[in-house]
Structures are given as structure tokens and as C-alpha cells.
Amino acid sequence: MAYKPFDLTGKVALVTGGNGGIGLGMADAMAQSGADVVIWGTNAAKNAAAEAQLKAHGRRVMVQKVDVADEAAVTAGMAEAVSKIGRVDTVIANAGVGGGAKSFAEFSTETYRRVLAVNLDGVFFTFREACKHMVERSGAGDKAGGSLIVTSSLSAIDGAARNEAYASTKGAVISMIRAIAVEHARYGVRANAVLPGWIATDMTAGAQGNDKFNDAVIKRVPFRRWGEPEDFGGIAVYLASDASRFHTGDSFLIDGGYAIF
């Protein structure tokens, strides 16, 4: 008999940046485990492809075009999702952008602001609206609680040269998660961070085909391979499920052992 707490039937998960990469890997695993899924993305073609993939699991799927850096769009998007699908039990703030420079001295303010707008402001807006909904549900007698998950990065704890803006946002969201976890535990809401290492996604496409990078970096990963979006399905299901009902304020490093080698 399957361990019942991992069953997500009756739960709804919203994933920002859920139309590709790690976000889609998480969304797909949760749909396979019984959850209905809402995905936010800004690319119409990727949204449509992700919708078709998720619907193949027989779950309800809602797709919204939401730019998480736009506060009004996030507020409206969350309200529409709750109104149309009924509730949101898990929110994964996964949408993110990269942006570096040849050196810190040459880092442009424009790039800095763009990275912060999506990777930090977007997480803040998304979780604020999610918490409003979950706290309101709690006040109405709904004891199901909720789960907030942010996609941080290995760069939050490992020096990421020439990527100071990106690393700063990924470190900041860990602090945000811990604060949310303490404040919202009384409402049954959990908040945790996932820190991916070197994962094969659109963001790392350039490095994947770089022999020098693969020889210098990926060979240092004890598993000797790039991570895949599917490698994040298990942690998403765990954190969305009742199996993690007493687990909050934590950070999960999923990097194939890179940081310890």
C-alpha cells in the first residue's frame, strides 16, 4: 500500500515559471501525484506546450500569462487562480532570470535592477499574495494549511563570480523564506527553499555545450552529469504533501554533491 501522505489528490499547486525547466519538472511530478496545477509563464508557446504535458496526467490545469516582476499582474493572477480553481495549497516561486557581467566592476545597473525585479521582487509579490489567501482560509476554519517553496540556487552559498546580482537574490530569498516560516506556522503554512546546482535548463544552455566548462565544472559533480528538471520532482511532491507537515524554514541543496566535493 502506498504511503498516503504523499498523495496530492485534492490539492492545488501554483508554479511560477512553470512552463519549462525546474518549474515544469516540479509541476509534472505534482500532477502525477494527483495535484491540480496552475502555471505562470510569459512565453505563450511554452505555456501551451506545458499545459498539454500536464493535462496528459488527467488533472485540472490552468495557465496564466503573468510577469512576476509586475506587482499588479501578480495580485490579479493570484486572485484569478483562486477564483477559478477554488484554492491554492502550494505555491512555488520558481520564475527567475540570469544576468552577469565580464567583471563586478563592469556590472551594469540595468542588469542589476532587472535581475532583482524578477528574482527577488517577484518572489516577494508572489508569496505575499499566497500568504493572504492561506491566512484567510485559516481564518475561515480551513485547517489544511499550505506550502511555500522558493527556487534559490547553489550560488546563494557558493561564490558566483561575475554573477553578484543573481547570487544576491538567491541568498535573499532564503532569508525571506525563514521569516515567512516563523510568522505563518501558526496558520499551518510551511515555507522552504530548494537550492539547485548545475541543472540543464534554458538558463544554462550556453554552458552545456562548452567543453571547457564541462571539463572544469561538471566533472567535479560526484554524479558526473548535469542535473535534470526531473530531479526536482521528488522534493516538490514531498514539500507539497502532508508528509512535510512539520518541516519548515529549511533549505534543500540538490546539486549532485558538487558543494561538498
Under the phi-then-psi rule, with left for phi > 0, alpha for psi from -120 to 50, and beta for the rest, what region is 145?
left
Q: Would you call 166 a catalytic residue per the annotation?
A: yes
Which of the residues 166, 187, 238, 258 is marked catalytic?
166
In terms of DSSP H, where are the helices of the chain? 21-32, 44-55, 71-85, 109-116, 122-139, 164-184, 205-208, 211-216, 233-240
In 3D, which of 140, 112, 123, 253 has the Cα closest to residue 179?
Answer: 123
Q: ∠144-16-99 over CA atoms, to 5°?
A: 140
Q: Compute the distance between CA of residue 190 and CA of residue 167 in angstroms, rounded to an integer.
A: 24
Q: Compute the distance between CA of residue 18 and CA of residue 42 in angstroms, rounded to an integer.
A: 10
Give catalytic residue positions. 166
